Amino acid sequence: MPSDIIFFSIDVVNLYGSIPLDEAVEAVREKLQEHVTDINMFGLTPDDVCTLLDQCLRNNVFCFDKDFYKQKVGIAMGNPCAPPVAILFLDRLERLALQNREAKPDLLLRYIDDYGGIWTHGEEALKDFLAYLNSLHPTVKFTMEFTKQDSGVPYLDTLVSVVSDNDITFLATELYIKPTNSGIVLHFSSAHPSSTKISMARNQFRRAIAVSSNKDREEKSVTKMWNLLSSNGYPENVLRRTLREAKAGGTKRGSTKEDVDGFLTLPYVDEELLSRVKGVVRRSGMNIRLAWRNKNKLKNALVRSAFSPPLCPGASRGCYCCKCGLAGRCTTKNVVYRITCTLCKEQPAVYVGESKRPVRLRFNEHVRNMLSATPDTPLGDHFRVAHGQLSLDRGADLPLTVEILHQALDYPDRKIAESITIRDSEPSLNERLVSWPII
């Protein structure tokens, strides 16, 4: 490359919070109209799409500590529309910026809001170019870093340097870890399958090797990653093995979706149980793929947008679920629950069920079955047969108690927990006492 090149990186300050919605929607409209014959529009016009998009971008409401807020400026982070809209907005802005500019980058690359490029017009002209970019829009501002003598510039996870050797100028790259990086990755002692931790370490070494431009830079990158993994508890023998696999191209790939009969996700407990379950599946002859998940995460314990559970929507008129034992928890979803008849003293009548919806809705259905003695329902049949003379005044206390036994992660977790509870307790009102079929 020319000896006077400068590599630079440009970052947009608070991109999502700075984008004006009218201009963002207009950028989408222009791109749709430009490619309208190349896209399946499903019968919609560009104006139809932009009308829908405008609703998605302007009506972002969130709850914090029981109060509701609406974002008025910018695009909400986490909105699925945000990344593609931001990309199209910047595409429009940069094209307008570069079309009439004489001194401009010889190469300009962008990943969402991170720019990298090569400049050959001198340092002062590059500073003028940054000032020009910051004059284009009242809300969108840019910051810049560029290479100087003996200094590299970070771009994404790569440190890019301009190097001269024997009158040859070239770009050298190596792994970059921010000074503000916490240095925390999946710890070797964490409650995850050992295969997950080994794969993570191997892939980190692969990344360090992939972004390095030569053997010297690769050695620096690998050393950075080695030290990071070592500080997170990874033994030296594990690091040596995973580094060797990363350099050799890794390990044999696992099964794909096409050559297995199904996938099964189970809660991870420890390596001993994992090995036993794998052995059972292998001996069964079932061609299924196992995955393991641990729900005990700091995120689940600490991250909350509301400091208290949602308010019961039926509290003002009396909520059966709250009255029967779940005050403050009746809006909980994805649960396994148990209902007990309090009129049966010697041998309590018990029903165990599960619900994806708020438990109060499912419990209210059971209550209606009980009050109307609905045939072929657990509580309807029980109260018709065992308590046929029962009559309740409106608003009276119900002869039922309800409790949440398990809050599940997903449908399989919920069904498995329900099956285990029914198998172990054999509730008298459940007809099905065998396990839920996994496959």
22 token code pair: 């009218």
Is the pLDDT at 309 greater than 90? The verdict is no
List alpha helices for 35-136, DSSP H.
46-58, 82-98, 123-134
Could you tell me which of 37, 13, 38 has the C-alpha nearest to residue 114?
A: 13
Is the pLDDT at 78 greater than 70? The verdict is yes
% of the chain with per-residue pLDDT over 90: 56
pLDDT (tens digit per residue) in 83-107: 999 999 999 999 989 988 889 999 9
Is the pLDDT at 203 greater than 70? The verdict is yes
Q: What is the mean pLDDT of residues 313-334?
A: 86
Weakest mean pLDDT among 110-119, 195-204, 393-402, 405-414: 393-402
pLDDT (tens digit per residue) in 352-377: 999 999 999 999 999 999 988 899 99
Weakest mean pLDDT among 72-81, 261-270, 294-303, 411-420: 294-303
% of the chain with per-residue pLDDT over 70: 93
Q: What is the mean pLDDT of residues 382-386?
A: 89
Q: Please indicate whether residue 298 or residue 369 has the higher confidence score (pLDDT).
A: 369
242 token code pair: 């995973």
315-425 sits in which CATH class? alpha beta
- Predicted confidence at residue 338, as pLDDT, reads 96
- Predicted confidence at residue 305, as pLDDT, reads 64
Distance CA 109, CA 280 (A): 51
Tell me the residue type at 105.
P
Domain segments of the chain as ranges? 6-175, 194-248, 257-301, 315-425
At 258, the pLDDT band (50, 70, 90 cuts) reads low
- Predicted confidence at residue 204, as pLDDT, reads 96
Bridge pairing between strands 114-119 and 107-111: antiparallel
- Predicted confidence at residue 77, as pLDDT, reads 83
Q: How far is residue 149 from each of residues 72, 105, 158, 226, measured CA to CA in Å?
A: 44, 20, 18, 28
- Predicted confidence at residue 292, as pLDDT, reads 86
- Predicted confidence at residue 185, as pLDDT, reads 93
At 255, the pLDDT band (50, 70, 90 cuts) reads very low
- Predicted confidence at residue 304, as pLDDT, reads 66
Per DSSP, the residues of 55-77 read HHHH--EEEETTEEEE--SS--T
Mean pLDDT rounded to a whole number for the chain: 88
Is pTM beyond 0.75? Reply is: no
- Predicted confidence at residue 32, as pLDDT, reads 94
Could you tell me which of 246, 200, 197, 252 has the C-alpha nearest to residue 222?
A: 246
Of 233-237, 253-257, 296-300, 412-416, which has the strongest mean pLDDT? Answer: 233-237
Weakest mean pLDDT among 99-103, 112-116, 419-423: 99-103
